[in-house]
Structures are given as structure tokens and as C-alpha cells.
Amino acid sequence: MPVDNRAPDLIARTKAFSLAAILFYSRMPRGTVAQILGRQMLRSATSVGAQYREARRAKSTADFISKTEGALQEVDEAGYWLELIRDSGIETDSSMNALRAEARELLAIFVAITRKAKQNKLQNMV
């Protein structure tokens, strides 16, 4: 199974991302559209850390890859909802930019982790 040397930092970082998303959502306007978009963002943002924790307990390399791809999909989706919130003109606080930046960074990290795990799996098959 792949070893991720960034595990403790990434566990803390994905949890911090979830908490930041919770705080961001709690400050969003109470209008219908804002709440619908906000709940979608909240669901995906808080799933990133859960998916990564599951990946750390994976039973196989294929399971690890599947779970990290799940985290990758969730963080990408959170970024999408944040873009919609921004582009729709919903009034938000200044934490939007930091949350979007962290989503982009986490996306890059999960792309790299997943890519490396796939490469290692292929190398082990040869």
C-alpha cells in the first residue's frame, strides 16, 4: 500500500479546510439560492477529509487510489460550488478567497498523491 509521508499534515489540513467551510457557510446569507449553493459546498468540502482518512485505512493500493480519487473529486466539487457562489454575486465575507485558494492547493496535492500511487502500482505490476 502506498505510504504518504504528508499524512499528519494533510489530515490536519483537510480538517482545517472543513472547519473553514463550516464557518464560511455559517456566515452566508439566508436566502434560498445562497443556502442551496452553500449546503452543496459544505457537503463536498467536509467530505474531503473524511475521504482522505478512509484512504489512510485502505486495504489495498486500489482501495487507496479509489479513496484519494474520491477526495480529489470532493475538493474539486467544493471549488466548483465556491465559484458559483462567487459568480452569482452572493454577498460573502473575505474568507471566500482563502477557501478557494486552499481548495486549489488541496486539489493539486490529491492529484499528485493519486498519480504517484497509480505509478507505483504500475511499477509493482512489472
**Per residue in 58-79, pLDDT tens?**
999 999 999 999 999 999 999 9
Higher pLDDT, 1 or 28: 28
Domains and CATH numbers, the chain: 7-125 (1.20.1440.60)
Q: What is the pLDDT of residue 5?
A: 57
Q: Which residues of 14-52 are buried (b: 16+ CB within 10 A; e: fewer)?
A: bbebbebbeebbeebeeeeebeebbebbbebbbbbbbbb
Q: What is the pLDDT of residue 6?
A: 57
State percent of the chain over pLDDT 70. 94
Question: Average pLDDT, whole number, for the chain?
Answer: 93
Report the predicted TM-score, pTM, of the whole model to 2 decimal places.
0.90
What would the mean pLDDT of 21-32 be, rounded to a whole number?
A: 97
Q: What is the pLDDT of residue 70?
A: 98
What is the number of helices (H) and of strands (E) in the chain?
A: 4, 0
Do the beta carbons of residue 17 and residue 48 sit within 8 Å?
yes
Q: Which string of DSSP letters, residue by residue, matches 55-71?
A: HHT-SSHHHHHHHHHHH
Give yes or no for residue 100 having a pLDDT over 70. yes
Cell digits for 1?
Answer: 500500500
